[in-house]
Structure formats: structure tokens, C-alpha cells
Structure 1
Amino acid sequence: MELSSRELAKKDIKSLLIKQSVPASIGILFMTVNILIDTIFVGRWIGSLAIAALSVVMPITFFISSLGMAIGTGGSSVLSRALGAKNKDKALATFAHQIMMTFGVSSVFVAAGLFFGDEILFIFGSNGDITAPAKEFFFPILLAVPFQAMSMMGNNVIRAEDKSRHSMISMIISASSNIILDILFIKILGLGVMGAALATAASFFLSFAYIFWFFVYKSELRLKWSHFTWKKEIAGEITSLSFVTFARQGVISVLAVILNHTLFAQGGEHAITVYGIISRMLMFALFPVLGITQGFLPIAGYNYGAKNHERVRESVFLSIKYAGGLAILIFIVILVFAKPITAVFTTDPDVIRDTPGALRWVFAASPIIAVQLIGAAYFQAAGMAKKALMLTLSKQGFFLIPLVLILPQFFGIFGVWVAFPIADVLSTIVTGVFLKTAMAEHVNEE
């Protein structure tokens, strides 16, 4: 830990940024490649309608499982500080509360999904011909969601123990098993949508099994039954720190509901299929930019705490420079290869015709998103929770949702696609103003 601290304080920012960003990018890459390949298999082996069903179901299941991520993120902050203070009892109690809270909350949502599945699917955009495959996909995955929630929570705890290699292994297990089982269940056994659902559900369980093995045999956090005693103070501390992550995912889920209904109203099942491909590309293509953002956080956070504002400024500007450069390259690739990219996902000629133009519009402002991402991350690193939350939610919550509701009334489905770059530009301007003010304050302090 002391060597790491000296590096953060003294080592060249460029070298630090590379060292921190590459592992983060690899982790994000495995997660997004899994989603991407899953969508390709579903689109080519089952049909374009199955992609639309995925676009309806995945935001629901991810919302439930992301509760585990939120509890994991908030609880791991408590846990890390307890370990640093040599308070092993509190660390163990915190971990036990994370388990109880994640299992309890995810189980409640799963029960709600089993009883009100049709209504929930409709709320998230299950209309017309999408309904049947969405139901077939939804229920097997729903039953496995607690395993994914526990995995997402557990990965945060593993990183808090400074054993991130095991966290990466669990993600690799999930991604690779899903791909292998997709081939088995869909291509070889011909189980269609049910096969895709079973493959995804099994990958959740296998990832959880590895994490369970880690905590039994490798972790320093060895729990006893006595640790599973409910303490309001610990639960409250975890909940308060989990709110930012939960709020962000909540806004993304609301956006998914509005998008799916708006797209169906403007273009039916076909429009939702088009966005299903675009949303996967948004997750995949931007992984190096997100990796730099994650790598930037500990560098800026440490030097901000040490009041070394010159290194903070340097880390901000270098991160924006590198992330912006990568974003420009990504935009050029999307601009030039939009049609071949679309053809990888499906053989449906209508989807291949309509997706490239929409894809280019959605990515139109991607060259400037580095300012928005790094800017919001800076305020998180500086411990300014309210500003970090506001800027993190600015694109989806303050701009994209209203634009998606308003623009299609005047421009039809084109209004949906153009809402994305407009929201990017507006949120980047807002973040840029906040970031410029913060950098000026550093100069005054010096």
C-alpha cells in the first residue's frame, strides 16, 4: 500500500494512467464482449425479433442485479475503511450485511417479477410480436438474477481486499460460459430463445460459484453465523453510500422504458430491434474511454486528498486528451463501417438498411464525451457527491429523457436518434463549465 501511495504521489501521470486504465478496460471489455456476442448469436441464429426481446428484458434483469452492484460499491467503501483501521469485526459485519441486503432485495424483486411478470414486461416495452419471445427469455433469467446480484456485490468486495485478479476471473467465467452455452443450446440443440435464456442464467450461476469458492477458500473475510446479526447503523451506512449507483441505474431503467415505448410507437418491433443493436454497440465501442475514466479515479482522488492540485489538473487534462482521442477513433470507425457492423448482428435486410444511419447519429457527439465522463469522475474522486451525482445523471436524466419524449412528436423516429448527440453536447457543456470552475479554484488555492 505504501509503494502504491508513493507511486500515486510521485510517478509520471501518463504512466500511472496507463497502469490504472488497462486492467479496468480489460474488465469492461470482457463484460461488453459477452453482451455483444450474445446479441450476435441471438440475432443470427434466432432472428431479429429476438434482439428486440433482449432489449426489453435485459434492462429489467440488470436493474435487479445492479442492486447488488450498488450494495457492493457502497458496502465496500465501509469495508475498506474498516480493514484499513484494523477493525476486522466491523469489516466482517459489513460483508455479512452486504450478503443479507443483496439476497433480500433481489429476492423481493424476483418475487415481484414472478407474480407481475406480464405487467412488468409491458411497462418495459413488451408489445406486439415482442411479447412471446420476451416472456420466454424473461422467466429463466429472472430466477438466476439473485446469483448475478450476489456476483456483482462479491466482485466489489474482492476488489476491496485488493485481489482484483479473482474478480476478473469471475467475469471471464461468466462471459466464456455464456458464449459456449449459447452455441450448445441455440445452435446445436436448437432451443431458440429458451436456449439463450438458459445459457445466460447458467453463466450467472457459474460466476457466483467461483465467487463463493473464493470467499470460502481464499478470502480473509471468514464469516460466522454470529456476524449475520442485523445492525441498523451498518445497514444505514451501506445504503447511504449505495445511493449514487442505485440512482444512476434507476435513471437508466426509466430511460429504457421510455425509449422502448417511444420506439414501438414510432416504428414497431423493427425500431426496437434497431436500437437493440445500437445499445450493444454503445456498451462495447466505448470500453477504452470508460477504462480511462476508471483509471483516472484513484489518481485524481489520491492527489486531491494530498492537495497536490497541479497533479490533479495534469491527470484531468491527460485523461481527457487520451479518452478524447480514442473517442474520435471510435467515431470514425462507426462512421465508416456502420453497415458491416450491423450485418454482423442480423441478416434481416430491413434492419441492415435502417440501423447504420441511426448508429451514426447516436455516436455523432462521441468525440466530446470524454469531457463529460472525466468531469463527472473528477467530482466523484474529490468526494463532491452531489455534484458527481448531478453530472453523472445529466445526460440521461436531465437531457436525454425529455428530448426522447419531445423530439419524436415533431421529427418521428429520427427525433429519437438525434436526441442522443444533443444530450451529449448539452451534458458536456454543463460538465465543462463545472470542471473549468473547479480547475480555476485550484489555481486560486495555490
Structure 2
Amino acid sequence: MTTELHKNNNFLNAPLPFVFLKTAAPIILIMMVNGSFALVDAYFLGVFVGADALTAVTSMFPAFILIVALSTLVSNGFASLMARQLGAGNGSSAVEVFSQAISLSLVVCAVLICLFLLGGHALTDAVSNGSNLIADMSYRYISILVFFSPLVFVLAINGDSLRCEGRVSFMASVSLLSVLLNGVFNYLLIVGLNWGVEGSAYGTVLAQTVSLIIVFCYRKYQKNELNLQVVSFSKSRQHWLTFLSLGAPSSLNYIGLALTSGAILYNLQTWDAANYATTVGAYGIITRLMTFIFLPLLGLSMAFQAIVGNNFGANELSRVNASIKIALTIAFVYCLLLQTIAFVFKRDLGMLFVSDQAVISGVVRILPFSTLALFLVGPQMMISMFFQAIGDAKRAGILGIMKTYAFSLPLIFILPYFFSEWGIWYAAASTEFLALLLTVFVLSQRNRTQNTSLGLFFKETQ
């Protein structure tokens, strides 16, 4: 099986630019459509339900990101191990890895649901700024997503497995269909049936259900060397700690994003209470714009992880080095381009969603500072993902965790004491520049202790 897997593994044999295009393009397309849907969903809620609905959903952004964080806690660690097993030609081990990942992900999902049952109402009350209407809508929206979260967890494992198996085109088709169905369902439920924020949540659940059915049929009728099913379980817990340790950096990044969003909402109540509703409206628009920018970058990093993992597992170090250069270049150019667009067209971007001049002015005021160091985000994400792909959980963790927990969160609370409400928005750029210094330090340390070039590239002669 090892020889057959290597022979059919395009990650190891095809030209790297082609591999990046074939692997990353479909994922990035999906991510862009996902990001576009977030914008369309905001439009549906804002226009057909009302500003309170948009505020309610925005206030639940931290909780939504927490669901994503917990799903990636297992799936990202699983993807790293799965890619290396496939790269080494260990098909039977890859099947066991998949089964253990499904088992662990559902355990994590059960913990999430239990925690929400205990503290869901307290959460929605805390971010509603005293509005019972917003608190009620927030709870109705997020409770649906939490109780149906097993769909997200199982789909995450299957999506990462398909990506690592090289079945990117199929995965892309399913994901694209899911996003389009999500838009259709949301329109029918929000606009047609007037279900409000619940319509938005149920639209997501219905789209995920259809996607899982399609993946089930594909796994059932398209047999291959691995012969995986959508859901399979294992009594063994051999790889659980590996999943968690490798997935923790990405998961903690998402948790950090949730905490960061929550910290911003909290500090806005403290430092800009009089304009809270208006500023949160502007922040909600900016959050969706940043999501649209970030998701394709995440897609690139996912493709990069699969490529590096397979080639590192096969000891193809020259291809690993080349893939690093390609990923860093694409990430830098992309981020610089989007940063320029955000700065030049900031007012036009605000006017796309609302006609309220106060909210538009808020977007114009905040967006340039939110994207001031965007050109650093992409390359630093690729470096962190590289360490995760080769199984270096320690360095991946340092780069991911320190950025959020040592820099971003403290700065959001500290800077307002010096710059008032402006300090909240200065924190983003300050975080990226501090993270750059940390990245340089980590790479210099690795360069001294290992036989690498610039602390990043392998010496191909070793």
C-alpha cells in the first residue's frame, strides 16, 4: 500500500506551483464564498429584520468563534497527523487516526453543549448592554448553533481528511454548495418566513446537514485504498493527546479571537458607552470585512499545511523549502493588496451595508487602524502553520498563543487608559508588530539549535 499511496500522491510528485494551485485555489474559493456569505447574511439581517438583529448576531460573534475553535482543536491536529501518515504511506494508520479524531471531536462537542446549558443565558446577558430584546435574540440565535454543533465537528474532520487525501475538488464542490444553500435557506427563512435571527441559524444547520449527506454518499460509493466512512469510532485514545497538542495552537488562536472580540465589546461599554450601539454596528461591519479578508488566507494556510505535511512525511525537504517560499510570497502580496483596498475604499465599504451616516463614519474611522499591519498577518500565519505541519507544536504554540494572549488581549485593556476609546483600535496593529519581533526571535533560536537556514528552511544536503 505504501508504494501505491506514494505513486498516487500528487503532493509528492507534481510541480509545486501546480500543487498549490490545485490544492489552494478551491479552498480559497470556498473561503471567499464563505466570507461573501457573511456579508450577505449581515445584509439580510440588517435590512429585513432590523439593526437590533444585526447587533444581536454581532454580539454572539465571540460564541460563534468559540464553536469553530473547539472544532479545530481536534481537526487541525488530526490534519497534521493524517497528512504525515499518508505521506509516509501508512494507510491503515491513517484510518485509525481518522476514527480516533471522530471519537474525540464528539466528546469535545458534548462538553461544549453542557457548558452552554450551564452558562448560555449569562453569556447573552453579559454582551447585550442591558437590552432584553438583544439578549433574547442573541440566545435564540446561538443556542441553535450550539445544539446542532455535532454537524460542524464531524464535517471539520471529514473536510480535513479529504484535503489531506488530495480530494480537494470534491471537498471544494461540497463546501461551495453548502455556502450557496446556506444563502438560499437564509433568504427563505429570514425574508420569506420572517424567522429573524433563528432563520439565520437554521439556514446554517440545514446547509450543514445537506453537506454531510453528500459526503456520506461519496464515502459510501467512491471506494479507495483507505475506505473511510463519514463517521467511524475507535476505542483507542492513542492519538488524542497528539491531536490536542497539535490542534491547540490553532484552536487557541480562535479562542483568542473570541476573547478579543468579547474584550472589545466589554471595553466599548466602558470607554464609549454613549455611542455603544453605533460603534458596535460599525465594528460588526468591520468584523465581517475582516472575516472576508481572513478566510482566503486561512484557506491558503490549510493547503500549505497539507503540502508541507505530505512532503515532510516523505522526507522531500527541497519541496518543503520551495513550498514555504511560495506560501510566504502569496500571503504577503495578498495582505498588502487587501490592506490598500481597505484604506482607499473605506467609506465605500461602509456604505455597502448601511445608510446611517454615524455608522459609516465609524467604519471610516476604525477600519484603517484595524488593517494597519495587515501585511504582516499573512506571512506570520504561514510560519506558524509550517511548524504545525511538521509536528513542532511547541513553536507553533508560542507564535499563536503569545500573539493573542500576551499581546492582543492585554493591549485592548491597557491602551485605552492612555488613548481612551482609540486605544481599543490601536491594539490590533501594535499586536502585529510585537508578534513580528517574537517571530524573529523564535526563528533565530531555531537557527542556532538546528541545521536550518534563517531558522525556517531545511538544509537539503543533510
Normalised to the residue count of structure 1, the TM-score between the two structures is: 0.86
- 1:224-243 matches, within 5 Å, as 228=233, 230-243=235-248
Contact 2:69 2:255 in 1 (8 A): no
Could you say which structure has the higher helix fraction? 1
Do the aligned partners of residues 127 and 389 (structure 1) sit closer, same or farther apart at CA in structure 2, a change above 3 Å counting? Answer: same
Tell me if structure 2 keeps the 8 A contact 1:300–1:381: yes
Which of 92, 101, 105 is 1:102 aligned to? 105
- 2:66 corresponds to 1:63: yes
Describe the shift of the 1:25–1:199 C-alpha distance in structure 2 as closer, same or farther (beyond 3 A): same
Which stretches in structure 2 are left out of the alignment for 5+ residues?
Answer: none
- Aligned match of 2:32: 29
| Matched length | 442
Is structure 2 residue 55 aligned with structure 1 residue 52?
A: yes
1:93 positional shift: 4.2
Cα deviations across residues 33-80 of structure 1 (Å, max 9, x unaligned)? 222221222222223332222222233234234433332333344555
The amino acid of 1:126's aligned partner reads S
Among candidates 188, 207, 225, match of residue 211 of structure 2? 207
Q: CA deviation at 1:407?
A: 1.0
In structure 2, do the counterparts of structure 1 residues 387 and 349 end up closer, same or farther at CA, with 3 Å as the change threshold? same
> TM (normalized to structure 2)?
0.83
Q: Is the 8 A contact 1:327 1:366 kept in 2?
A: yes
Structure 2 equivalent of residue 377 of structure 1 = 385
- Whether 1:189 aligns to 2:193 is yes
Aligned-partner Cα distance in 1 for 2:185–2:100 = 33
1:112 paired residue among 89, 112, 115: 115
C-alpha separation between the residues in 1 aligned to 2:314 and 2:110? Answer: 43
Change (3 A) 1:198 1:67: same
2:31 touches 2:299 (CA, 8 Å); kept in 1? yes
Cα 1:371–1:433 change in 2 (3 A) is farther
Residues 158 and 5 (structure 1), Cα distance of their counterparts in 2 relative to 1, 3 Å cut = closer
State which of 263, 271, 285 in structure 2 corresponds to 1:266: 271
Alignment pair present for 1:178 and 2:186 = no
Equivalent pair of 2:416/2:422 in contact (CA under 8 Å): yes
Cα distance 1:337–1:87, how it changes in 2: closer, same or farther (>3 A)?
closer
Native 8 Å contact 1:296 1:315 kept in 2:
yes
Aligned to 1:332: 340
Q: Which amino acid aligns with 1:440?
A: L
Structure 1 residues 248 and 399, CA, compared in 2 at 3 Å: closer, same or farther? same
Query: Which residue is 1:127 aligned to?
Result: 129
**Offset at 1:180?**
0.8
Structure 1 gaps of 5+ residues are none
1:138 positional shift = 2.0
SS at match of 1:388: helix
Partner secondary structure for residue 221 of structure 1: coil
Shift of 1:278: 1.2
**Alignment-derived partner of residue 171 in structure 2:** 167
RMSD over aligned Cα atoms: 3.3
1:270-299 deviations in Å (ceiling 9; x for gaps): 322222211111121244444444444455
- Indicate conservation of the 8 Å contact 1:106/1:149, yes or no: yes
Q: Provide the residue aligned with 1:398 in structure 2.
A: 406
Distance change (3 Å), C-alpha of 1:222 and 1:153: closer
Instruction: Determine the C-alpha separation between the residues in 1 that align with 2:7 and 2:230.
Output: 33
Cα distance in 1 for partners of 2:283, 2:266 equals 12
Q: Which amino acid aligns with 1:54?
A: V
Shift of 1:329: 1.6
Q: Residue 408 in 1 paired to residue 416 in 2?
A: yes
State the Cα distance separating 1:150 from its structure 2 match: 1.8
1:403-436 deviation per Cα after TM superposition (whole angstroms, max 9, x unaligned): 1011122222211111111111221232244446
Asked if structure 2 preserves the Cα contact closer than 8 Å seen for 1:48 and 1:348, the reply is no
Identity, in percent, stands at 23
Seen in structure 2, the aligned counterparts of structure 1 residues 65 and 354 have a Cα distance that, compared at 3 Å, is closer
Which of the numbers 241, 249, 253 marks the counterpart of 1:248? 253
Tell me, yes or no, if the aligned pair for 1:31 and 1:175 is still in contact at 8 Å.
yes
Task: Please name the residue that 2:454 is paired with.
Answer: 440
**2:386 match: secondary structure:** helix
